[in-house]
Amino acid sequence: MSGLTVEDFIAGHQGQLVSANVPQHFWSRLHDKLMGEVFDAGDYFQIICEESADDGRKNWQVVLTKDLEANDPNGIFLVDHAWTFRPQLARRHLGEVPGLLDRMSAFLGHDDDEAEEVDPRRRTDRVLRDLWRHAQTYTIRRPGATTDEDQMPVWYMADEFGSRIPHSDEPTVRMVPIYYAPQQIAFSLVFPLQSLKEGDLVTRDYADSATARARPNWRHLLLHPWTPIDISHQSMENVEPTEDFFLSGRTMDELPSGTVVRNVPIKLEDSDLKLKIFADDFQLIKHLIHVQYEVVEDMKDADVVWLRTHFHKFKELSVINPNALVNQFPFESILTVKDLLAV
């Protein structure tokens, strides 16, 4: 990784930095900190815990231990992720990863003085119940990935420092995730939104998300886990969407206008035949043993069109290559796409 220059880093991560609104004057120093794995937040921030005299409840805060200028290139800090998980595997992780249940219980303010005497299943249930007020997500969109499975959100819990920064509608810092490609690992970045003085309270906006920015009238709902509101007066009637709603995110299949006649049938019994295959994913094809094949670069030259992505241009294929076989059939997305079943 010693060969990763600042220019290489920016070229590979600029899209993330821009979309996360990370000011450009931080980029060079961020490269240095990622390269050197520099976690220097402790030089500027201190975690403070105040315990209520009434009920013993703990109130966590983060304060500045020295002045921090908004334009200081060094004023961007790495936050480690204590736990990265998929929701369906969260319970298994808590049961199998040593120390994870204790650490998450501490994050969430659960009283674990008698942890060894408490049923682990009850502790796990409690962590999973409260986890969603603190866990956050990011999505890795790889070039060429178009399937839903490739873009499922990854959930994570920031470390003790990141998890203790409280919410404010007028935040003093911003915290955003970044995926560091050379190490294939994600961190969070904390940087000031304004110049801060020693002793200032460090806060961030828990509803700082693309969803909140796109729908500002949802903000009070997005903040409900931390600032509960009464929505019992709002109608819960389920209004059936119009047809336009169901079609808005769909690419319609294009079908031939008449009957398509294949001129030359493929004879698989001919041992000398090499199938010409056009594909966008070779994970399955490269393991073929009993079928001889060659890869072609153009769909019009293929005997078989094997696609992982949804195929819609049946009409076009019937014109340029009526003999081709496709591993899909028209409108099969009605059976294979599940995202509208809950509507």
Per-residue pLDDT tens digits for 192-230: 999 999 999 999 999 998 888 889 999 998 999 888 888
Pick from 291, 322, 326: nearest CA to 306: 326
Is the model's pLDDT at 7 over the cut of 90? yes
Q: Is 239 helix (H, G, I), strand (E, B) or coil?
A: coil
pLDDT for the residue numbered 209? 86
Is the model's pLDDT at 179 over the cut of 90? yes
Q: Look at the chain and count its residues.
A: 343
Of 268 and 340, more confident: 340
The model carries a pTM of: 0.70
Is the model's pLDDT at 55 over the cut of 80? no
Q: pLDDT band at 282, cuts 50/70/90?
A: confident
| Phi and psi at residue 326, to the nearest 5° | -115, 145
CA distance 134 to 156: 9
pLDDT for the residue numbered 149? 56
254-268 average pLDDT score:
68
Q: What are the chain's domains?
A: 6-222 (2.170.270.10), 251-343 (no CATH)
Token pair for 315: 């009409």
Token pair for 60: 């966590």
Helix spans in the chain (H): 6-19, 27-36, 90-96, 100-107, 120-130, 160-164, 210-214, 219-222, 243-248, 314-320, 333-336
pLDDT for the residue numbered 1? 47
State the pairing for strand pair 136-138/45-51: unpaired
Is the model's pLDDT at 306 over the cut of 70? yes
Is the model's pLDDT at 340 over the cut of 90? no
Q: Is 48 helix (H, G, I), strand (E, B) or coil?
A: strand
34-45 average pLDDT score:
95
